[in-house]
Amino acid sequence: MALQTPAANPALASLRDIQTPVEIGLWPIAYGYWILIIIALMSSIAIFVYLSKRRKHNAAKRAALIELAELDLKATHYIANVSAVLKRAAMSYCERNLVASLSGSTWHKWLSQQVKQPPTELCELLSLSYQQQPLTESQAIALKQCAEQWLKNALPLSTTKSTSNRLSQMEAK
């Protein structure tokens, strides 16, 4: 059999060559990929916003820890300086009028209520504030360590109404 030419067979004249489809390119991206890209982008933005807010919220805690580390252990008013650092850090997280007026045993009670395990050594060392003899070096180091521990465990404080309720209960006692 010989090949037929289109002129010889009129039915073959109307046929065309097979057309191959166009190659699938990378663009435009399918809808599923767009959704995946949007979800990944939104998640990244949300994580970034969360971490930046968390960093900003913990800024007072970091500043207090740095300030505490820079205090001179042999200063004459070292205990008062440590107490002032603790008080400034606490005022950064709750209302000023709740913390600023606290002193003595009410201040120690308030410090103890902010953590799960009360810092008895911290309160004992803070109570030595106006003694005639200054702190020994080991007491000053212990005070610094206790204050650092309190800052790390207690801050950031919860700024709920329970703090003000606990404070009013303390003052009533």
Residue 173: is its pLDDT beyond 60? no
Split at pLDDT 50, 70, 90, the class of 86 is very high
Cβ pair 64, 151 in contact under 8 A: yes
The alpha carbon of residue 63 and the mean position of all alpha carbons in its chain are separated, in whole angstroms, by 14
Closest residue by Cα to residue 166 from 106, 116, 117: 106
pLDDT for the residue 116: 87
Q: Report which of residues 103 and 9 the model is more confident about.
A: 103
71-81: pLDDT as tens digits? 998 888 888 99
Q: Which residues 6+ apart lie within 8 Å of 60 measured at CB?
A: 89, 92, 93, 155, 156
Give the CB-side neighbour count of residue 95, counting CA atoms within 13 A.
9
Span of 64-78, 119-133, 154-168 with lowest mean pLDDT: 154-168
Split at pLDDT 50, 70, 90, the class of 154 is confident
134-151: pLDDT as tens digits? 788 899 999 999 999 999
Whole-prediction pTM: 0.69
Cβ pair 62, 89 in contact under 8 A: no
Residue 36: is its pLDDT beyond 90? yes
7-35: pLDDT as tens digits? 677 777 777 788 888 887 777 888 999 99
| Residue spans per domain, the chain | 35-154
pLDDT for the residue 162: 45
